[in-house]
Chain A
Amino acid sequence: MAVGSLPAPRPRARGSLRLGRHRGLIMAIAVFCLLFLIVDWISAGPISYFEVSFLSSGGATLAIAAMGATLVILSGGFDLSAGAVISLVNVVLASHMQDTPSSILLWSLAGIGVGLATGAFNGFFIAVLRLQPIVVTLSTMFIVQGLTLLVMDKPGGMIPYGLTGLLAGDAIPNWLPMPLVLVAGLLGLWWLLKRSRFGVALYALGSDPAAATAAGVRVRRDLFLVYTLAGGFYGVAGLFITAQTGSGDPLVGNPMLLQIFAAVVVGGVRLGGGRGGLTGPVFGAYTLMLVVNILLVLNVSAYYSTVAEGLILILAVLGASLSRDSSLAQHLRLGRAKLAAWGAGSLPGQRQTQPPRLRLDGAAAAPAASQPTGVLPGFWLRHGETLRHALPAYVCLLVVVLVTQLVLGHALFSPKYYNALIVLGSFMAILALGQGTVILTGGLDLSVPWTIGLSGILLTGIVAGSDAALLYALPLVLAIGALIGLVNGLGIVVLGLSPIVMTLATNGILQGLALVYSGGTPAGFASPSLRWFMTGSLLGVTPVVWLMALFVPAAVLLLGRTPFGRRVYGIGNSQRVAALSGIQTGKTLLGVYALSGFCAALVGVLLAGFSGQASLGMGDDYLLPSIAVVVVGGALITGGRGHYLGILGGVLLLTALQTLLAGTTLPYATRAILFGLVVLGAVMALRERAS
Chain B
Amino acid sequence: MKALSRCAAAGALAMLVAGLATSAMAQEKFKIFLSMSYIGNDWQAEAANMVKAMAAHPSLADKVDLQIQVAGPNAQRQIQQINSMVQAGADAIVTFPISPTALNNVVKNACDKGVTVVAYDAEITEPCAYNVHIDQLEAGRVTAEWLAERLGGKGNIVVLTGVPGTSVDTQRTQAAKEVFAKHPDMKIVAEAVGMWSQAVTRTELSKILATRSWDDIDGLWLQVGCFTANAMQLEAGKKPEELLPCAGEGSNGGRVQMLAADTQVEGAECPYCPLAAPRISYASPPYSGGLALKLAVAILEGKQVEKTTILPLPIVTNDTIKLCETGSWQEMNNGCNAFPPSFVPNPGWFASIFSKETPELGMQAALVGQPELE
Q: How far is the CA of A520 from the CA of B40 in the complex (A)?
A: 8
Q: A256-B74, A289-B80, A417-B211 are in contact. Are A610 and B202 (CB under 8 A)?
A: yes
Q: Does A668 contact B (CB under 8 A)?
A: yes
Within 247-289 of B, Cβ neighbours of A (below 8 Å) are at 269, 271-272
Q: A293-B84, A615-B42 are in contact. Are A663 and B345 (CB under 8 A)?
A: no
| CB 8 Å contact bits of A49-71 with B (1 = contact, 0 = none) | 00100110011011000000000
Contact A297 B88, beta carbon cutoff 8 Å: yes
Within 212-270 of A, Cβ neighbours of B (below 8 Å) are at 241, 244-252, 255-256, 259
Contact A611 B88, beta carbon cutoff 8 Å: no
Within 388-432 of A, Cβ neighbours of B (below 8 Å) are at 404, 408-411, 414, 416-417, 420-421, 423-424
Q: Which of B14-22, B63-71, B140-148, B315-323 contacts A (4 or more CB under 8 A)?
A: B63-71
Within 58-109 of B, Cβ neighbours of A (below 8 Å) are at 67-77, 79-81, 83-85, 87-89, 99-105
Q: Which of A297, A536, A613 contacts B347 (CB 8 A)?
A: A613
Chain B interfacial residues counted at CB < 8 A: 84
Contact B101 A54, beta carbon cutoff 8 Å: no
Q: A521-B42, A615-B41 are in contact. Are A295 and B69 (CB under 8 A)?
A: yes
Q: Does B348 contact A (CB under 8 A)?
A: yes
Contact A521 B46, beta carbon cutoff 8 Å: yes
Within 307-330 of A, Cβ neighbours of B (below 8 Å) are at none
Q: How far is the CA of A610 from the CA of B190 in the complex (A)?
A: 22
A301 cross-chain contacts in B, Cβ below 8 A: 68
Specify the main secondary structure of chain B where it touches its partner. Answer: mixed
A411 cross-chain contacts in B, Cβ below 8 A: 210-211
Q: How far is the CA of A153 from the CA of B83 in the complex (A)?
A: 28
Q: How far is the CA of A465 from the CA of B45 in the complex (A)?
A: 23
Q: Does A124 contact B (CB under 8 A)?
A: no
Q: A663-B190, A663-B207 are in contact. Are A525 and B345 (CB under 8 A)?
A: yes
- Greatest chain B CB density within 10 A among A245, A250, A424 is at A245
Q: A423-B206, A521-B45 are in contact. Are A251 and B166 (CB under 8 A)?
A: yes
- Greatest chain B CB density within 10 A among A155, A157, A410, A453 is at A155
Contact A662 B165, beta carbon cutoff 8 Å: no
B176 cross-chain contacts in A, Cβ below 8 A: none
Q: Does A487 contact B (CB under 8 A)?
A: no
Contact B70 A305, beta carbon cutoff 8 Å: yes
Q: Which of B191-199, B292-300, B329-337, B352-360 contacts A (4 or more CB under 8 A)?
A: B191-199
Contact A615 B198, beta carbon cutoff 8 Å: yes
Q: How far is the CA of A54 from the CA of B81 in the complex (A)?
A: 11
Q: How far is the CA of A522 from the CA of B46 in the complex (A)?
A: 11
- Greatest chain B CB density within 10 A among A301, A302, A511, A535 is at A302
Within 148-198 of B, Cβ neighbours of A (below 8 Å) are at 159, 161, 163-167, 169-171, 188-193, 195, 197-198
Q: Does B13 contact A (CB under 8 A)?
A: no
Contact B167 A292, beta carbon cutoff 8 Å: no
Q: Does A618 contact B (CB under 8 A)?
A: yes
A464 cross-chain contacts in B, Cβ below 8 A: 345
B69 cross-chain contacts in A, Cβ below 8 A: 295-296, 302, 305
Q: How far is the CA of A301 from the CA of B49 in the complex (A)?
A: 13
Q: How far is the CA of A423 from the CA of B71 in the complex (A)?
A: 35
Contact A524 B102, beta carbon cutoff 8 Å: no
Q: Does B128 contact A (CB under 8 A)?
A: no
Q: Does A95 contact B (CB under 8 A)?
A: no
Contact A306 B70, beta carbon cutoff 8 Å: yes
Q: How far is the CA of A302 from the CA of B37 in the complex (A)?
A: 10
Chain A interfacial residues counted at CB < 8 A: 90
Within 610-650 of A, Cβ neighbours of B (below 8 Å) are at 610-613, 615-618, 620-621
Q: Does B228 contact A (CB under 8 A)?
A: yes
Contact A249 B101, beta carbon cutoff 8 Å: yes
Contact A520 B170, beta carbon cutoff 8 Å: no
Look across to chain A and name the residue whose beta carbon is closest to the beta carbon of B269: A465
Look across to chain A and name the residue whose beta carbon is closest to the beta carbon of B235: A535
Q: Does A573 contact B (CB under 8 A)?
A: no
B45 cross-chain contacts in A, Cβ below 8 A: 515, 519-521, 616
Q: How far is the CA of A252 from the CA of B167 in the complex (A)?
A: 13
A155 cross-chain contacts in B, Cβ below 8 A: 99-102, 165-167
Q: Which of A248, A256, A618 contacts B76 (CB 8 A)?
A: A256
Look across to chain B and name the residue whose beta carbon is closest to the beta carbon of A656: B210
Look across to chain A and name the residue whose beta carbon is closest to the beta carbon of B191: A665
Specify the main secondary structure of chain A where it touches its partner. Answer: helix
Q: Does A589 contact B (CB under 8 A)?
A: no
B348 cross-chain contacts in A, Cβ below 8 A: 613, 615
Report the minimal beta-carbon distance from B345 to chain A, rounded to whole angstroms. Answer: 4
Contact B206 A420, beta carbon cutoff 8 Å: yes
B42 cross-chain contacts in A, Cβ below 8 A: 520-522, 615-616
Q: Does B307 contact A (CB under 8 A)?
A: no
Q: Does B208 contact A (CB under 8 A)?
A: yes
Contact B104 A247, beta carbon cutoff 8 Å: yes
A515 cross-chain contacts in B, Cβ below 8 A: 39-40, 45
Look across to chain A and name the residue whose beta carbon is closest to the beta carbon of B45: A520
Q: Does B203 contact A (CB under 8 A)?
A: yes
Look across to chain A and name the residue whose beta carbon is closest to the beta carbon of B108: A246
Q: Does A96 contact B (CB under 8 A)?
A: no
Contact B197 A521, beta carbon cutoff 8 Å: no
A248 cross-chain contacts in B, Cβ below 8 A: 101
B161 cross-chain contacts in A, Cβ below 8 A: 668
Q: Does B32 contact A (CB under 8 A)?
A: no
Q: A155-B167, A246-B104, A292-B81 are in contact. Are A663 and B211 (CB under 8 A)?
A: yes
| CB 8 Å contact bits of A481-502 with B (1 = contact, 0 = none) | 0000000000000000000000
Q: Which of B166, B193, B207 contacts A659 (CB 8 A)?
A: B207
Residues of B at under 8 Å CB distance from A?
Answer: 33, 36, 38-42, 45-46, 48-49, 67-77, 79-81, 83-85, 87-89, 99-105, 125, 159, 161, 163-167, 169-171, 188-193, 195, 197-200, 202-204, 206-212, 228, 231-232, 235, 269, 271-272, 345-349, 367-368
Question: Could you give 22 example pairs across A and B, Cβ below 8 Å?
Answer: A154-B167, A245-B103, A246-B104, A296-B33, A296-B85, A302-B69, A411-B210, A423-B206, A465-B269, A515-B45, A519-B45, A520-B42, A521-B42, A522-B42, A613-B198, A613-B348, A620-B40, A621-B195, A663-B207, A663-B210, A665-B190, A666-B191
* Pairs A-B, 4 closest by C-beta atoms: A520-B45, A247-B101, A420-B210, A662-B207
Not counting A154-B166, A535-B235, A611-B199, a sample of 4 additional A-B residue pairs whose C-beta atoms are within 8 angstroms of each other reads A292-B71, A296-B33, A296-B69, A536-B235
Residues of A at under 8 Å CB distance from B?
Answer: 43-44, 51, 54-55, 58-59, 61-62, 148-149, 153-157, 164, 168, 241, 244-252, 255-256, 259, 289, 292-293, 295-297, 299, 301-303, 305-306, 404, 408-411, 414, 416-417, 420-421, 423-424, 453, 464-465, 511, 514-515, 519-525, 535-536, 607, 610-613, 615-618, 620-621, 658-659, 662-666, 668-669
